[in-house]
Amino acid sequence: SQTIHQWPATLVQPVGSPLSLECTVEGTSNPNLYWYRQAAGRGLQLLFYSVGIGQISSEVPQNLSASRPQDRQFILSSKKLLLSDSGFYLCAWNTVDSRYEQYFGPGTRLTVT
């Protein structure tokens, strides 16, 4: 069966520090991968998606970047965090065979202080 992992689960970082969040998927090949952010009291905002290694599409211009160094690994990064980067970050995946729904990881709670 397929599983999706995110780490760390929680993170507290000072403003101006770098960020690296990791997402890995097991049990499937060539998934589409997604990064979402959920700010307090708000819905989900799609940040990036990837259909293959090295292929990244950005949905919102911002202080963040994404990379996909391996087929089932998706990384969200920042060189310098802003207060507004605080939120709950969710990774998700799907494939053509999964009938277009997405499956979500457990999330990472990021607090920028």
Q: Which residues bind other proteins (CB under 8 A)?
A: 32, 34, 42-44, 46, 49, 51, 57, 88, 90, 92, 94, 99-107, 109
Cβ proximity to other proteins, 57 vs 113, nearer residue = 57
Cβ proximity to other proteins, 49 vs 64, nearer residue = 49
Min. distance of Cβ 101 from other proteins in angstroms?
A: 5
Q: What's the distance, CA 41 to chain centroid?
A: 19
- Please spell the DSSP secondary structure of 28-94, one letter per residue: -SS-EEEEEEE-TTS-EEEEEEEEETTEEEESS-SS-EEEEEETTEEEEEESS--GGG-EEEEEEEE
Min. distance of Cβ 100 from other proteins in angstroms?
A: 4
Instruction: Please state, in angstroms and rounded to a whole number, the distance separating the CA atoms of residues 85 and 61.
Output: 13
